[in-house]
Structure 1
Amino acid sequence: MNLFSTREMPSPSSLFSAYASMAASIMLFRSMANELIPQPVRGYVLSAIKYVFKTHSPKLTLVIEESSGMSRNQVYEAAEVYLCTKISSNTERIRVSKSPKGKNLTIRLEKGEKLVDFYEGIELKWKFLCTDSKQNNPNDPSPRSEKRYFELTFHMMHKEKVLGCYVPYVLERADAMKDEERVLKMYTLNANYPYNGIKWESINLEHPATFETLAMDQELKNAVIDDLNRFVKRKEFYKKVGRAWKRGYLLYGPPGTGKSSLVAAMANYLKFDVYDLQLANVLRDSDLRKLLLGTANRSILVIEDIDCTVDLPDRRHTDGKKQHDVQLTLSGLLNFIDGLWSSCGDERIIIFTTNHKDRLDPALLRPGRMDMHIHMSYCTYHGFKLLASNYLDIHNHHHLYGEIQDLLKETEVTPAHVAEELMKSEDVDTALEGLVKLLKRKKLEGDECEAEAEKKTAAKRQKTGNQQKKSVRNNRRIATKRSSKRLSARNPNLY
């Protein structure tokens, strides 16, 4: 027996008409809702509906973003290093790179890739994601960079174990791996990067300079080394006295005296990364703060030729930027050096270099900002012997050393100029004879300059003396005329 007769069954055309009518009603309702109900309200209602009807998962997901506010996220950096050791045969895409002098390949996950890790029996699923960030301000012409982050998913019952043990374990393992594969980095600004216009980019720092090869006064060299050793050992001292754990150095002297080589030697000695900051690329104090907060601990921040950029408000820009867009000030820089912002980081060294110390604002030079002033002078006899040992492998006395020593006492020549002369020949006698000729030529030029200066001084003195004599004669003539006038006024019969 049939439950429904064929007469009671709706025809296909009726079903199609009912479906079309329902679809039209839904579309009409949807368009009316879009017109009448604001988008935030619609989003809130949809979120509430999804929350009510969704099935609650026992899984918990941690989102680990590349940056945390204005600072870098150490958990993200640690995860990036740690996960390269967990790549398995199931991983389909990875990023591989190698620096020219790097020992090993650098392996990183490609976006969208997943992998599984285990910690004390807990399954942990990692996923690397990248999304394009949208502009928050339509009037801001600089596009935003992509947003990169990791997702770590695990059972909710292991939340305390993961946060209290696993994440610290990842941080510790990443630090150990970095120390094993430690390669010094040189960071510079990339003004074309779409992150508020500028961002740090790095290459391997492969400068060979060390304190052993540096041609500078030995006592000054020892003083710098002692100061660096004292600084890195005094973390608790800086904390006790309430000061930020940082140190400032001012390197000043003529071009070619080894200021940049000293910076590299300090970096190689301490195993600190170097951040080369060009203030001409920074427009606002806020950009400067973001860049400086983006520097890592155990690093050296270098601002070269500070005398050329210290007059910040009056800088000229040749790239079309309007003057009212420039909001970087000297006070903003000083505030980060020793103001409240200086405490945002530990074990940092700040180095200013200049060829003209006398042009600097006294506010830059006081203790607390530039704690140690290092004068990089012209080449001394000790510096020459070190250069001769490095370039020509001379470890004993040479018969030209006495003449060179006497010439260096009377000649101003930079270590860079001496090194350039020693590189012209691999033959020891030829190279040293060329240096003697250079020093004699420099001495002759110096004597001629001194003679010319003395002539100018003598001519100036003679001119001043003649002017004084002429002035005395004029004064006497005027005094005589005045005396004659007074006498004629008293006794007109005499004239």
Structure 2
Amino acid sequence: MFSQTNMPQSVSTFFSAYASVAGSMMLIRSMANELIPYELRSYLSTAIHYLFTPLSPNITLVIDEHCGMSRNQVYDAAEIYLKTKISPSTERLRIGKTSRQKTFSVAIEKGEAVADVYENIKLKWAYVCTEPQKTIHSGEKRRFELSFNKKYKEKIMDRYLPHVLKRGKEIKDEEKVVKLYNRECPFNEEDGGDHGGMWGSINLEHPSTFDTLALDPELKKMIVDDLKRFLGRKEFYKKVGKAWKRGYLLYGPHGTGKSSLIAAMANYLKFDVYDLDLTSIYSNSDLRRVLLSTTNRSILVIEDIDCSVEMRDRQQGGDQYDGPNSRVRPHSPSSSSF
């Protein structure tokens, strides 16, 4: 039984035991700091904090593939960024390789989820595809869903998403593969559907470069210098309020190297190529929609521009539209404009 007579001895014994335990804890902590890597200690600390933190409701951000008729930059950046976050636990992956690629390209398959951690915040990305509806020209809709704790919304919006955009651009520039885009769904008068169609793409496998192109050396140098000047004057165009674009007209019979020159320019600039057939365009709104669906830093090629549309004299009422058949002309020596 505890009494006042032995109180000093008990207190002394208590403090002695406390000091012994504290010393042991300090020794263990010092050894842990030396033996356990910082990354593992940080992970364990985050895991313990996560286990003992009360659960809060999550919020999900939906990132669609398109913003209206234009590509969603956040979607494109996320698609590239998430390739670097694939873990061994991911069950379904899309694998591909072209003859010009040295390694396999890997991407997550629809329905799969990928985890990420940003400044000790746990995030979950899900790749969701919606099956096409039974309507004319309706295609599969793709989106990413980003879920995280609601209390981190401001940090995710202000810092994480810009980080994804930046990393996506850096990876894209490092692994840039030039693509050739064609319209997948041209207009069909019988179905009365959408004139615009969708762009489908393949990797541009054309080997043409300015080093291999058979072209007059002075003319080749003039084109390369012009392209360099165009690339370096983006801010100038913005300053004077002009669209950052450059136009070229190539004319000559088939087989004279127009396509090879375009491919050389695309490989030099690392710009994607959009091949547009004007006979599939039936109104100004169609053309506007098609142009808005292309991406920045790309080459728009309009082939046979001189024989796809019938030229009219406006003074003689040539601006009247007489139906689709009046637009198609027999092929003459071809030209390309871009």
Q: Give TM-score, length-normalised by structure 1.
A: 0.49
Aligned residue identity for 1:166? Y
Aligned partner of residue 80 in structure 2, secondary structure: helix
C-alpha contact 1:144 1:196 (8 A) present in aligned 2 = no
2:254 matched to 1:258?
no
Partner of residue 165, structure 1: 159
- The 3 A distance-change label for structure 1 pair 166 and 125 is same
Q: Which one of the candidate residues 161, 175, 186 is aligned to 2:180? A: 186
5 Å matches for 1:94-105?
94-105=93-104
Q: Which one of the candidate residues 150, 170, 185 is aligned to 1:176? A: 170
Partner of residue 205, structure 1: 204
C-alpha contact 1:109 1:128 (8 A) present in aligned 2 = yes
2:294 matched to 1:269?
no
Between 291-300 and 280-289, report the one with greater CA deviation. 280-289
Aligned-residue sequence identity (percent) comes to: 56
C-alpha contact 2:86 2:114 (8 A) present in aligned 1 = yes
CA shift, 1:328, in A, is 12
Structure 2's unaligned 5+ residue stretches are: 1-54, 313-321
5 Å matches for 1:34-433?
58-134=57-133, 142-191=136-185, 196=194, 198-311=197-310, 326=324, 355=333
How far apart, CA to CA, are the structure 2 residues paired with 1:180 and 1:264?
Answer: 20
Aligned partner of residue 64 in structure 1, secondary structure: strand
CA shift, 1:327, in A, is 11
Higher RCO (Cα < 8 Å, 6 or more apart): 2
Structure 1's unaligned 5+ residue stretches are: 1-55, 136-140, 314-322, 330-353, 361-368, 371-495
Partner of residue 32, structure 2: none
Aligned partner of residue 117 in structure 1, secondary structure: strand
Aligned partner of residue 106 in structure 2, secondary structure: strand
Aligned partner of residue 107 in structure 1, secondary structure: strand
Aligned partner of residue 266 in structure 1, secondary structure: helix
How far apart, CA to CA, are the structure 2 residues paired with 1:71 and 1:305?
Answer: 26
C-alpha contact 1:285 1:328 (8 A) present in aligned 2 = no
Q: After superposition, give the CA deviation of every residue in 1:319-356 in whole Å (9 maximum; x if it has no partner).
A: xxxx86x5999xxxxxxxxxxxxxxxxxxxxxxxx837
Aligned partner of residue 247 in structure 2, secondary structure: strand
Q: Give TM-score, length-normalised by structure 2.
A: 0.71
How far apart, CA to CA, are the structure 1 residues paired with 2:326 and 2:116?
Answer: 47
CA shift, 1:81, in A, is 1.2
CA shift, 1:257, in A, is 2.4
Query: RMSD of aligned C-alpha atoms?
Result: 3.1
5 Å matches for 1:466-481?
none
In our comparison, the structure showing a higher alpha carbon Rg is 1
How far apart, CA to CA, are the structure 2 residues paired with 1:269 and 1:203?
Answer: 18
Q: After superposition, give the CA deviation of every residue in 1:225-272 in whole Å (9 maximum; x if it has no partner).
A: 221111111112112222100011111233332222211121122121
Q: How many corresponding residue pairs? A: 267
Partner of residue 454, structure 1: none
CA shift, 1:100, in A, is 3.1
How far apart, CA to CA, are the structure 2 residues paired with 1:328 and 1:60?
Answer: 55
Aligned residue identity for 1:153? S
Aligned residue identity for 2:333? N
C-alpha contact 2:125 2:145 (8 A) present in aligned 1 = yes
CA shift, 1:129, in A, is 1.0
Aligned partner of residue 90 in structure 2, secondary structure: coil
